Homo-oligomer: A and B are copies of this chain.
């Protein structure tokens, strides 16, 4: 079975549209004397942290942002790391900060995420960022949940009255999307990957979101014909075409599910690509903060989560 190209919900295309939406704001900032500015903080040299840091740096630079990388030694103390993040929080020349993970083992990820002020939280990992987003208050957005909303939006599927099923574990970054979609009058079901009779639940979904990190968990028989399927899983699986090598795959049996669904996000090139764009968009948002005093969002030409 071959994928039907027009059933691919292309994350790169959605990311490009997010960038296009930010161009006027970036230009406006440039006219006022400086670009939106991102600082990428990387501590130590874990390969995965390097990959993240490089992807963020490249994407933000492509958008025309100013990007600086703060590469700190692997033996940076917790106090020193927190101090640097707090310093970036106070630095008026910095709009957004992103901290590449994994961190060296002596550092606590949560504590450092909370050392960053929510107003500069490019990744949307501070608890206040999540709370503001879920409460519909102006602020930045957790990138993964934001990416789900943008993909649903791009699929041009009605959200009001839609049945949404989110298959994810208890700490999955995708979970806040449940409350964001609930705010848009969808009926949302959270379902664990281990749930008995998972297919019975997923088959009812008009919009199916999966973040289980289990390759091919979602097979065509578990998908309602015409559904939108958003695959936030990332797995390394054997590459059939190159013996002994691994390739990336999501949680959805992609080609087969393309034969049933209306639209499916690929992995790679789906949720990950959009999350990256949402991260950079967060920096642009941060550079043009809404007025908080009266509790309303400023009139920004930006997506409303």
Question: Interface of A with B (CB < 8 Å)?
Answer: 78, 108-111, 114, 118, 126-132, 134-137, 139, 161, 170-171, 175-176, 178-179, 182-185, 187-192, 195-196, 201, 292-295
* Pair A189/B189 contact, Cβ less than 8 Å: yes
* Pair B178/A111 contact, Cβ less than 8 Å: no
Complex contacts, A170 vs chain B, CB 8 Å: 182-185
**Nearest-Cβ distance from residue A213 to partner chain B, whole angstroms:** 17
- A127–B129 Cα distance when bound, in Å, is 8
- A191–B195 Cα distance when bound, in Å, is 20
- Which residue of the partner chain B has the closest CB to A294? B108
- Which residue of the partner chain B has the closest CB to A192? B185
5 nearest A-B pairs in the assembled complex, by CB-CB distance: A127-B131, A131-B131, A128-B128, A130-B131, A110-B295
- A183–B139 Cα distance when bound, in Å, is 25
Q: Looking at the complex, which one of B110, B187, B196 makes contact with A137 (CB distance below 8 Å)? A: B110
Having A127-B135, A187-B190, A187-B195, one finds 13 other A-B pairs with CB under 8 Å, namely A108-B294, A108-B295, A110-B295, A111-B292, A111-B293, A111-B294, A126-B131, A127-B128, A127-B130, A134-B176, A179-B179, A185-B192, A188-B189
Complex contacts, A178 vs chain B, CB 8 Å: 178-179, 190
Q: Looking at the complex, which one of B108, B171, B189, B191 makes contact with A293 (CB distance below 8 Å)? A: B108
Complex contacts, A78 vs chain B, CB 8 Å: 293
